[in-house]
Structure 1
């Protein structure tokens, strides 16, 4: 496939990706993995590649970012997450660049921004929201990882008597010092 053909293929994949992502956005809290999106755009377009996903999906999603910005749509690429950790990729920074926003500091901030963007996508594209109107949420796999980290957080050190420095019983009153 020549250079021009590869660019044409990516353009067609980007058009299909846009449609796929709108479909995803119609389900509250839905996300799609990079692999699932890559397979779906190839299937829908009828254009297949043996090239590794990470060699082409980024340029396709960059086109989606620019098109969403041009249309005034929320950043649909926030719906695309890694299978293993449920996080958006480093290419998510393009969403901010295109919108003229400063870069985010750290993974947690990026994931919170993506959660807000996904929620805006669900609202825009007609997902059935819960009666309370819904809320932004981290991708399920990433949320589970956050909860696992929280559950492993160290317990606070036991309280100690300031008089004799012995650990206090549950009553909080030192048995020795009273």
Structure 2
């Protein structure tokens, strides 16, 4: 918006957040316009402050996440690719990138960049087709389970309750005998 230092003003992060989000989106669309474009958090923070003319003394690490969260929400609402995937900590020697992030970045480049090498597009398309085939095969395997042949089971044998033994009775006094078998009455 302005590069003139005289038109810049110092503000709090909450006051400038919405304007910074608009500027961040513009910057990220420009970055996505050149394959393989990336931008650091620090560079993005500086560019949004320069473009809006709104500066803060707060370190960028304390507010850039909130600005990017706003960008994420707006981009999703507009059905655009995930532009915030282009923001990195460092641009030198980035060792490995998660597959999901790489896919998100390629989606951005496909939308905005004209200079994506044809072999990159072909490789990405081939990988996407392979994953689709793999997913279809996995779905088929889940839906068509080989049935095991049923073997007839022998009927379960139920344990027959054992009938209680009839109590022993004293032949003399006709009283039930204790476990000892000796009558307490007659002895």
Match of 1:19 among 7, 19, 26: 26
Partner SS state of residue 27, structure 1: coil
1:32 equivalent in alignment to 2:39: yes
Q: Contact 2:13 / 2:63 at 8 angstroms: preserved in 1? A: no
Q: Does residue 60 of the first structure (1) align with residue 47 of the second (2)?
A: no
**Aligned residue in 1 for 2:103:** 116
Q: 1:91: which partner in 2?
A: none
- Number of residue pairs the alignment of both structures matches: 113
Q: Which runs of 5+ in 1 are unaligned?
A: 88-107, 137-178
Q: Return the TM-score normalized by structure 1.
A: 0.57
CA contact (8 A) 2:13 2:56 kept: no
Q: Distance in 1 between matches of 2:88 and 2:43?
A: 10
Q: Distance in 2 between matches of 1:115 and 1:16?
A: 24
How does 1:10-159 map onto structure 2 within 5 Å?
10-83=17-90, 86=94, 111-134=98-121
Question: Which structure has the larger Rg?
Answer: 2
- Deviation, structure 1 residue 125: 1.1
* Unaligned 5+ runs, structure 2: 1-9, 125-187
CA contact (8 A) 2:18 2:67 kept: yes
Please give the root-mean-square deviation of Cα atoms over the aligned residues, in Å. 2.3
